[in-house]
A and B are shown apart, each in its own frame.
Chain A
């Protein structure tokens, strides 16, 4: 995922925010067509939300691959 600096998103007044926002990462979202994963059992496509990787353990991703 491409990272951008948070500061680059602001036209002005970035300094009004607490300075620790500097550490926030800006993620570029994936396009929707990349979020459909085929499930082997019935060969159907399942849609996964953008934050799928945050909320699901890597283990379940493996389960889908098998």
Chain B
């Protein structure tokens, strides 16, 4: 578990992270999103014990990163955004170096190195020198190195930045399986689709601050953009608007096509409420032939938050 409380990081007069507070539960994948310079990398590096924060508290599995960095480091696996590797080591030697440094011995070390290389799909390239690997392969070698001591907390800064689509899918599956095993994962990324598919909790950062935090649905609700309900009718039903108006959890009801058969509304509630609405419509004999619940799209939310920020700065 990661708990960040009131974190502040200064570089000279510049504030990189300002009063940042959030927590990531075990078995959860938390995605940090934000424009360049939002403070994501600084926050991750502070959690990884690599930057001394100006003040604030960071706990990983209950250990203070500031006061017990040696213990905290043993629990953390950190992968930076640019993948530096030891150019003149073979891929397996690169992983073996860290397995050795983390105290693994003999056969156990060999087996673990092989297992991690297999998990990231680098088994065939294990004898290749790191300098001969492509950028994506280096990224995977780095992920293997990050996993080699089985950390309970993973901090991944732009983990899929250089990966091809197939590798991204594989990475997602690896991360999901690690989360299932109870690992705490914190990811920062610009690839919104990757975050959307992988993370169960999101944090939007801007100018060093966390502007919104929660699951995609919760954030959507906070921004007035809950689940999008698409209602398709087999024939026009003039009574539908008046029925919908009476349901308080629905808003922004509008017709999306011509002919009075396609409508859209935003649900400020859970999926069980959507079930009740569908049941209600069928009960009053509305000819529903299609009923789709669409989660808010992360791209829309991101752009909306960006627009809010721009409006604020213009107002100032």
Report if A and B associate in a common complex: no
